[in-house]
Structure 1
Amino acid sequence: MLATTLVAKLPLRWWWIRACEFPRLQLATAALVAALASLALEPPWRWWLFGTSLLVVLLQARFILPWTRLWRVQVNDAEPGQSERCLTLLIANVLTSNRQSERLIEIISRNDPDLILTLESDRWWQEQLDQALDETWPHSVKIPLDNLYGMHLYSRLPLHDTRIEWLIQDDIPSIHTGVRLKSGDTLTLHALHPRPPAPNESEETLWRDAELLLIGNEIHRNPVPTIVAGDLNDVAWSRTTRLFCRISGMLDPRQGRGMYSTFHADYPLLRWPLDHIFVTEHFTLKALKRLPGFGSDHFPILAALCFRPARSDEHDNPEAGSAEREWARETIHEAHDRDQES
């Protein structure tokens, strides 16, 4: 456990090293159990195991405490009123092979969100969703793919200046669009689903990291009200996700509220927060919920956000240093260059 904890600190992009960042809660829990069990041993093993286990707990707690109720919230609670300046967003990685569309449609109907973002949705999923959603959510962006990176956005709010982009790799799409609230205010939505670091996907995290940092740089250069949402294939406390927040200045509504782990839906002891919603300082949070499963390996997640630019000063925005910004630029350039070479 101590070795895994220390390996996660290495600034390398190999998938198996970055994977050590995922089970921080599980490692902390196991280490705490080991520390208590060590009290039954005889010296000197008792103190060696107790000290090592306690060190693991302390090192892991540094990363996971911000995503518990013991921490200060990063996005402040919304006050009542001005509902025309609020929106609800539901994210669901459907799992392409999953065919329980009626269960997801029932969840959507029950929660009645303003925007629905589905990931891994292919043409079959598009047909099911179109039948159920097109009338009530008439504004849409549809990218049906059978490579696990299909993406669909349905909205009852008008969309404008919509773009589908292939930011780093030519088989990984993303959606970038303006959204007009009922109040007439506008915001920008970036919907992402970068390639995960895994043996059957990518041996390195380079392309995932570059896609997140590319969007982070864009938000930094154009600081308008913005939401970033999607399955980022990364945990909230990872090196890359925290750097993305510092580069972009974006806030995580989960901080101070809970982890809201969405993957894996079938294994309660192995769950991590992979589906994310980040916002700029212009927003407050009305509600945040992890919704019931529907046959996918991900749970859906729902956020109700309110556009409150007058309260921007209440938030403490994370900031990146010059060295971090330079590292982000080098990562983006390397990803572009290596993808072109391949």
Structure 2
Amino acid sequence: MWIFYLVLTFLLLILTILPKIQHSHWIFRVPEFGKIQLTYFIVFTFILGFLIDSSENFWYYQALLIAMFVHHGITLIKYTPLYRVKKHIQQNQSSEKLHFISANVYQFNKEYDRFVQLIEKYEPEMFLTMESNADWEKALRPLEKAYSHHHKVTLENTYGMHFYSKMEIKDSKTHFFVADDIPSIEVHLKTKDGFSFVFFGVHPPPPSPTEEETSKERDGDLLSTAKRVREIHEPMIVVGDFNNVAWSKSSILFRKTSHLIDPRIGRSFVSTFHAKYQLLRFPIDLMFHSEDIFIKNLKTLENFGSDHLPVYCEFFIDHKNDGQEERIDYATQEEKAEAEEMIQDGKEEDGNRDAVVTEG
């Protein structure tokens, strides 16, 4: 049992150290997804230490576990209600409450009706689907009567993307920032009460042993989005399957470069993947917003057969309330240069993806 304790302690140490090494290979990037689970295992191992026959070095290992717990805890506590952020009350000059659903539907999920029923149940003003191909587009057509405005990027490579809105779309664009098969969408909307804002949908490829060997395309795509966001001077929401966690270096660099706010801070993790395994669920479907967007509710909804839980958000727009300015972090010149380098690395990376992906 003592050997098991030691092995577990050193494994946790390795998984804690790996993400601190700024290398783009998935071996270094994937462990940062599991920071929540690592923290639970650290607590488990610490308690286990008191239940076994220990050596004279016992307290050195326990101190190491405490240090790791503090290291992870300092980051994670920001994404809980224990980390206080100012709450904002909706005023008369603000827009009406708006709602959206963002969902990675999983291209090979055939339970189309469950997703349609989800949209009909919550009736958001707009919704975004990722991994939606031609079959999904066909399945979503019954919703087009209520959602008469849309922007569609139909692909069979698990990176298709569809946006549907009850509100007027003033303009929309599809961007291919780092690769010609990885789209991001930019949609300019106008609410019924006259407020304009921009909705950005993103879904970059993940670093993993089964997909992309490195995070270069993911990071380059996200930071290209951040760069584009800075060119737009309207209320902004960026949402999607980031295949990233909010506390990673590239996510923090995205937030600083874009001058957007992470609504998870002071609220909750909003973990979405994997939908079927609660203990192995990571918060990789992220959202960021400008200072004149105020979030009232951000949560996951029920599973509809995908490997991701859908994200539901309630928000309003208020141009006259500057109470969130203090929540914006700004990139240094060094960080801006690093972001440009990561964008270039992403463009130069060859993703080597199939145009049509089959399940299996």
What TM-score results when the alignment is normalised by the length of structure 1? Answer: 0.94
Q: Confirm whether residue 114 of structure 1 aligns to residue 131 of structure 2.
A: no
Distance in 1, matches of 2:30 and 2:268, equals 21
Q: Confirm whether residue 226 of structure 1 aligns to residue 236 of structure 2.
A: yes
The RMSD of aligned alpha carbons is 1.9
Distance in 2, matches of 1:115 and 1:174, equals 17
Number of residue-to-residue matches in the alignment: 340
Distance in 1, matches of 2:89 and 2:100, equals 15
Q: Confirm whether residue 299 of structure 1 aligns to residue 309 of structure 2.
A: yes
Q: How does 1:255-270 map to 2 (within 5 A)?
A: 255-270=265-280
Distance in 2, matches of 1:110 and 1:120, equals 22
Distance in 2, matches of 1:318 and 1:43, equals 47
Question: Match for residue 347 of structure 2?
Answer: 336
Gap runs ≥5 in structure 2? 1-11, 354-360
Question: Which letter does structure 2 place at the counterpart of 1:267?
Answer: Y
Q: What SS is found at the alignment partner of 2:15? A: helix
1:175–1:192 CA contact under 8 A, matched in 2: yes
Distance in 2, matches of 1:271 and 1:73, equals 25
Q: What SS is found at the alignment partner of 1:22? A: helix
Distance in 2, matches of 1:222 and 1:102, equals 36
Q: Confirm whether residue 13 of structure 1 aligns to residue 39 of structure 2.
A: no
1:234–1:241 CA contact under 8 A, matched in 2: yes
Question: Match for residue 195 of structure 1?
Answer: 205
- Provide, for residues 306-341 of structure 1, a one-character-per-residue CA deviation record: whole Å limited to 9, x for no partner: 001211243321111110000001111222234599
Gap runs ≥5 in structure 1? none
Distance in 2, matches of 1:99 and 1:249, equals 38
Q: What SS is found at the alignment partner of 1:269? A: helix
Question: Match for residue 96 of structure 1?
Answer: 107
- Provide, for residues 14-63 of structure 1, a one-character-per-residue CA deviation record: whole Å limited to 9, x for no partner: 11100011111111111111112212343424212211211111111122
Distance in 1, matches of 2:246 and 2:276, equals 20
1:168–1:339 CA contact under 8 A, matched in 2: no
Distance in 1, matches of 2:223 and 2:58, equals 45
Instruction: Give the drift of 1:82.
Output: 6.5
Distance in 1, matches of 2:110 and 2:238, equals 27
Question: Which letter does structure 1 place at the counterpart of 2:205?
Answer: R
Question: Which letter does structure 2 place at the counterpart of 1:215?
Answer: T
1:275–1:301 CA contact under 8 A, matched in 2: yes
Distance in 2, matches of 1:226 and 1:290, equals 21
- Provide, for residues 63-93 of structure 1, a one-character-per-residue CA deviation record: whole Å limited to 9, x for no partner: 211111111237x444266684432110011
Q: What SS is found at the alignment partner of 2:340? A: helix
Distance in 2, matches of 1:215 and 1:28, equals 31
Instruction: Give the drift of 1:114.
Output: 0.6
Q: Confirm whether residue 151 of structure 1 aligns to residue 161 of structure 2.
A: yes
Distance in 1, matches of 2:351 and 2:275, equals 36
Question: Which letter does structure 2 place at the counterpart of 1:305?
Answer: F
1:69–1:256 CA contact under 8 A, matched in 2: yes
1:34–1:49 CA contact under 8 A, matched in 2: no
Question: Match for residue 192 of structure 2?
Answer: 182
Q: 1:221 to 1:143 in 2, by over 3 A?
A: closer
Q: Confirm whether residue 279 of structure 1 aligns to residue 289 of structure 2.
A: yes
Question: Match for residue 322 of structure 2?
Answer: 312
2:217–2:345 CA contact under 8 A, matched in 1: no
1:174–1:192 CA contact under 8 A, matched in 2: yes
- Provide, for residues 219-278 of structure 1, a one-character-per-residue CA deviation record: whole Å limited to 9, x for no partner: 234342111011011111111111100111111111111101000011111111111221
- Provide, for residues 76-135 of structure 1, a one-character-per-residue CA deviation record: whole Å limited to 9, x for no partner: 44426668443211001111111111111111111110111000011111111112x100
Q: Which moved more, 1:313-322 or 1:155-164?
A: 313-322
Q: 1:228 to 1:38 in 2, by over 3 A?
A: same
Question: Which letter does structure 1 place at the counterpart of 2:292?
Answer: H
Q: Confirm whether residue 57 of structure 1 aligns to residue 65 of structure 2.
A: no
1:250–1:280 CA contact under 8 A, matched in 2: yes
Distance in 2, matches of 1:102 and 1:80, equals 38
Question: Match for residue 212 of structure 1?
Answer: 222
2:261–2:288 CA contact under 8 A, matched in 1: yes
Match of 1:48 among 60, 67, 74: 60
Identity of matched residues, % = 32
1:35–1:51 CA contact under 8 A, matched in 2: no
Q: 1:83 to 1:137 in 2, by over 3 A?
A: farther
